[in-house]
Structure formats: C-alpha cells, structure tokens
Chains A and B, each alone.
Chain A
Amino acid sequence: MRLYLVRRLTGSLVTLIGVAVLVFLLLRVLPGDEITARFGIESGSLTPAQRESLERYYGLDQPLVVQFFTWLGSVLTGNFGISVTSGSSVARLIGRALPVTIELAVLSTLIGAVLGVSVGVMAASNPNGFRDGAGQTFGLLGLGIPNFVIASAIIAFLAQRFGYFPAAASYVDFWEDPLINLQQQLYPALTLGVALAAATMRTTRSAFIEAASQDFVRTARGKGLSARRVKWRHVLGNSLTPIVTIVGIQFGYLLGGTIIVEEIFALPGMGRLVLTGISQREYAVVQSSVLVIAALFVVVNLLVDLAYARIDPRVRLT
C-alpha cells in the first residue's frame, strides 16, 4: 500500500510539473507577449530601446528556464499577476470563480452519481425487463439531449410555475445566504446532473450485469444471504471501480467550468472567467485559470486512484 501511495503521488507530481511547463510554454508560443498584452496595439509603436527596457523589466530578456522558475515561484506564492481590464489581481478573480465552479461540480456530480447508480442498479437487476427498458431509455435521452435543451426546459418550467428567473438575480455566495445560493445552484446542477447520470447509469448497468454473473455471487446466494445484501454488497461492490472511474472523470471535467450552463444560469464560474479572459486577451487570467484547473484535475485523479485502492485490495499491490 505504501509503495502504491508513493507511486501515485510521484506520478501526480510529475504530471503537475508537466502541466506547469506546458502552460508556461503555451504562452511563449502564442503570438504576442506580456508587453503586447499590457500595451495592446500601442506596443507596435514602441521604439526598440523602449521595448528592450520593457523586456528587461518583465524579465523577458532572461533565458527561458530562468523565466519559467521565476514564474513558477510567483505562482506557488499565489501571485498570478494582475488582470488588466478589471484591475484586480488574478488570484482574486480565480478565488471568486473557483468556489462557484467547485460547488456546482460537487452538486452535479452528487446528483449524477446517486441518480445514475440507482437507475443503473434498477435496470441491471432484471436485464431486458420493463425497468431495464425504462432505465435504458432514460440513459439514451440523458446522453442524447444537449445540456442547453434541458436547461431551457428547466428555466421555462421555473418561470411558468414559480415566476422564477435564475438569470435575473446576481449570484449570492453560499456563506452570504445558503438558501438563495443553493437555489441558484440547484437548477444548473440538475441540468448537468441528468446528463452525467445517463453516462453513470450505463456504466453501472453493464458493470453490475458483469459482476452479477461471477461465481462468487452464486457463492453469496448459496450462503443464504438476503437478496439485498447480495445485490448491494457483493454485486455492486464489485462494480464500483468503473463507476468511480466515470464519476471521477465527470467531476474533473466539471472543474474546468461549464461554459454553456454557466452562461444560461448566470453563474460567475471558471468557465465564464476563462471565456472572458480569452475574448479580452487576458493572458494572465487564462494562463492561471488553466493551471489551477489542471492542478485540480490532477488532484481528482489522485483521489480516484486512492479510491481504487480502497475498493480493491489487489490494486494496492500494483
């Protein structure tokens, strides 16, 4: 187990460093540099001398490696630079957007996992029966209908039934007013959750059917265990690895922000931050956001790896 842990941690660390290098290089490869970013088209009218002194000021005259470590150092101390258009620090912008996204990701993943696993188990308990048909239809619809259609349907329903318009109010933080915050998060989370549930349901169903046909399930029934215990402990227990995989992927993906849903429900999350960053050519914002998102993704992957080891003792040997 210790070896497994060390391996996964090292792997994560290497990935993180790779991500940092990539994000750093991406910015160097893109046309324009920080000077262009600061001065916009005016940078074209700088004299070579002005340019040179600016380059020295921003450290652009240093070798790439030095630049990388300087940048990494500032990033690690939480200094992501300043957003030119808004004038506030990038760290603050991310600090505001990230909790919105994490909350949405957690809620959507919870809804998706609970719904997906229950419908999946229900469908798999009697393959090709009526409930299986219903479950599979749900899976196809959930995967087939685009997010914005589900979102529009939810919004139309809310507006008609309760006269509630999610996009009308400005976003309220959880600690400001948990009830209003949850209300604002619930509908986008439902929108995302239904689509996630569809994929989770399909994974659960096939993993469950596969596990149910294993010899040890017959042993479990032969011991006189209740049908419930056989189902949840032995069959579902042995279906968990693929389920955790898909839920982990979904969660990691949601941490990158969900542009369409954030737009429709007026949530100031990471998706919007990156989108405005790109359209306003805010390199520092885009670069830092991508770095943070990638880092979180790596952490989620590590957690998934730990979950595997928790589920399956044989994994701990690898």
Chain B
Amino acid sequence: MSAPVLEVRDLTTVLNLAQGPVEVVRGVSLDVGAGETVGLVGESGCGKTMAMLSVMGLHPQPPAEIVAGEVIVGGRDIRKLSEEERRMVRGAQVAMVYQDPMTSLNPLMRIGDQIGEVLVAHGRSADEARNRTVEILGQVGIPQPRRAAESYPHEYSGGMRQRAMIAMALALHPQVLIADEPTTALDVTIQQQIITLVTDLQQAMGMAVIWVTHDLGVVARVAERILVMYGGHIVERGPTDQVFRDPEHPYTAGLLESIPRVRGAERHPLRQIPGAPPDPTHQPTGCPFHPRCPNAVEKCVSEMPPLTERGGADHAEHWAACWVPPEEWVA
C-alpha cells in the first residue's frame, strides 16, 4: 500500500441519548492509500454512516459526539485543527457522497450554484467556479452541462441528482472520496451506471475511494481491500480476494453465504445470518456477534476479541477479531 492519504485511529463516537451515552463507532481504525479503493461493509445499523460522518466531522451534534480517536489527513489530525482549517479540508481533500440524492441537495438553489459554492468556499474566483462547474457536470455525464447548471434539483431524476452530488464532491479533486451507499436509493440499471462512473473518475483523477455498502457484489467488483463492520467495530479487514476466499470472522463468512452466486459451479443454498444486529443501546458483552454466532464459545460472552493479524504467507495484511480460528468453526 502506498502512503496513506487518510488514517483513522481508534475513532469512537457516542450518541448522547436520554438513557446515557451509547457507543455506535467503537475504536475504528483504517488507512486509505492514495488512489486505492476500500470497501466498508456491514448490515444496516452497524455504524458505517456514523463512522464516515465522524471522519468528516459531520456527525449530527447533538446527539452524536466523538469521544476519542484521530483522523489524520495530510499528516495532520483534523480533530486538532481550528474550525476554519477543518473547513478547508472538507470538500477539498476529503469529500463525501451521501446515501439519498433526493434530500441531499438544497431544493431552493440551482445545481450550478451548489457546485460553484464549493469552489468559491475554497478560494476560487466566481469565473473559475462557473467554468469548472460546467466542466465537471460534463465529466459526470450530465448532458447539456451549461443548461443543467441552471436547473433546480427537482427537475432532475435520482440518478442525475447523484451525478450532480458526485460532481460537487469531485469539483476540487479531493484525495479521498467517501461514497456512502451512493446507489441504494437508485434503480438497478442506474446503480450500475453510477458505480462505473465513480470507478472511471477514480482512474482519471487518481483519488482514493471508501466505498460504503452492504452489497458484497459491489465490493468484489471495485474494492482492493475490504473492511467488515459489526456493532460499531471493525471485525475483519484484508485484501478483498483473500477475505472472500478465506474469511477469518464468522460474521464475514455469514455475509458471504448470504450473497447469491450466479456464476461458478458451486451453488450453495442461500443462507441468512439468523437474528439481527445489536441495538446500540443494548450492546452484548464480549464479542458483539456472540448472540448470533454459531461458533461462539464461553470466552466470547465475556471478552471482546482484539483485532489480530492472521498468519501465513498468503494472509498478508489480513486481520480479524475472533477467538475461534476457522479450523474450529462448526459452521
């Protein structure tokens, strides 16, 4: 991996609820190298969005609050920067595309103005902003970009809006793009177009992408490395092909078994992980996965397994947080 453009160390975010603080992001660490694609997967509610918003400093305050950790961009911990310095990082060095393009654009402002605004906020002149806006709208595949800049969000379909959001995020050539399930709200055919668009732009611009999704098929296609999140923790991480081939965490194994495989000879019956992810207000003791884990042993109930490197020459950079090695799994 090349030198990281984004490093997150032990990030912990709590929600200050009526019943007290509840941890939803629990000691998350990750590195993203220049130009690399990392997939962040996990079931709904496991804290993916909250973790990414915390990285951006966009977690909803209140109720959310970052209580520990570092977010290092360009060698500086942005949590230690002044608000003004942090503002200069957001949108310019790290940018984000959100889950719901229908609500993520200001309905009262022209698309072009919403893109131009990013450029002006980061010191470009109004003229530069106008030209760059039209240029980037063209780059994200919006037809007639000059006219599109004059349009309002409600005149656009969901797919077009998401393209506009991508244009907005990429206007300043950020080093890292966080794409938080940018396709879940879209039609299947549009989903494919957006995925292709982001990978193409990534090639052209050389930025790193954190692709947040619960679609393992997408991760298999785009991501070199994968991070698996469960109950606010990263429970497994490693090169995508390795993790897919030899998952070291029962949760990852469960996720892999629940994706339909159309290709390939071995057609196994589709299995869902029984139960539901933990409600953050009632976190289980020990390993957060133990109430659903077929391999759980006594220790799992009382002690949280640390994220440890898995040995072996063909397991480079492969980490998992589980007490029981795959050889001893019952399922």
Task: Spell out A's residues near B (CB within 8 Å).
Answer: 213-216, 218-227, 229, 233-234, 237-238, 311-314
Contact = CB atoms under 8 A, between A and B. Distances in A.
A227 B58 contact: no
Contact of B105 (A216, A229, A311): A216
B179 interface: no
Nearest 10 interchain pairs by C-beta: A224-B91, A224-B90, A215-B103, A223-B91, A223-B118, A216-B106, A313-B152, A215-B104, A225-B121, A224-B87
Contacts of B226: none
A100 to B, nearest CB: 37
B108 A222 contact: no
Contacts of B91: 222-225
Interface stretch (B92-100, B201-209, B253-261, B306-314): B92-100
B74 interface: no
Interface string B100-126: 100111111100000001100110000
A224 B92 contact: yes
A308 to B, nearest CB: 11
Interface in B115-168: 117-118, 121-122, 152, 154, 165, 168
Interface of B: 53, 56, 58, 60, 83, 87-92, 95-96, 98, 100, 103-109, 117-118, 121-122, 152, 154, 165, 168
B105 A219 contact: yes
B121 A223 contact: yes
Given A215-B103, A216-B103, A238-B106, A222 B117 contact: no
B104 to A, nearest CB: 5
Contacts of B58: 218, 221-222
B89 to A, nearest CB: 7
A229 B90 CA distance: 15
A224 B89 contact: yes
Contacts of A220: 106, 117
A288 B61 CA distance: 56
Contact of B108 (A223, A224, A311): A311
A224 B107 contact: no
A203 B290 CA distance: 49
A314 to B, nearest CB: 5
Given A221-B90, A223-B121, A224-B87, 14 more contacts: A216-B103, A216-B107, A218-B53, A223-B95, A224-B91, A225-B91, A237-B108, A238-B106, A312-B108, A313-B108, A313-B154, A314-B107, A314-B152, A314-B154
Contacts of B168: 219, 223
Given A215-B104, A311-B108, A223 B154 contact: no
Given A218-B58, A218-B98, A313-B154, A224 B106 contact: no
Nearest to A218: B58
A215 B87 contact: no
B111 to A, nearest CB: 11
A226 B91 CA distance: 12
5 contacts: A222-B56, A223-B121, A224-B122, A229-B121, A238-B107
Contacts of B87: 224-226
A219 B108 contact: no
Nearest to B103: A215
Contacts of B154: 313-314
A231 to B, nearest CB: 13
Contacts of A222: 56, 58, 90-91, 95-96
A234 B90 contact: no
A216 B118 contact: no
Contact of B121 (A219, A226, A234): A226
Given A222-B58, A314-B154, A238 B108 contact: yes
Contacts of A312: 107-108
Most chain A beta carbons < 10 A, residue from B98, B107, B108, B154:
B108
Most chain A beta carbons < 10 A, residue from B53, B92, B103:
B103
Contacts of A227: 83
Contacts of B53: 218
Contact of A215 (B88, B92, B98, B108): B98
A222 B89 CA distance: 10
A234 B91 CA distance: 17
A37 to B, nearest CB: 53
Contacts of B100: 215
A104 B103 CA distance: 42
Contact of B98 (A219, A225, A226, A311): A219
A227 B83 CA distance: 9
A311 B107 CA distance: 10
A313 B156 CA distance: 13
A1 to B, nearest CB: 12
A222 B122 CA distance: 12
A213 B58 CA distance: 12
B90 A219 contact: no
A214 B117 CA distance: 18
Nearest to A220: B106
A221 B154 CA distance: 21
A314 B108 CA distance: 8
Given A234-B106, A237-B108, A238-B108, A223 B152 contact: no
Given A215-B100, A215-B103, A312-B107, A225 B56 contact: no
Nearest to B151: A313
Contacts of A219: 98, 104-106, 165, 168
B107 A223 contact: no
A214 B107 CA distance: 11
Nearest to A316: B152
A9 B121 CA distance: 41
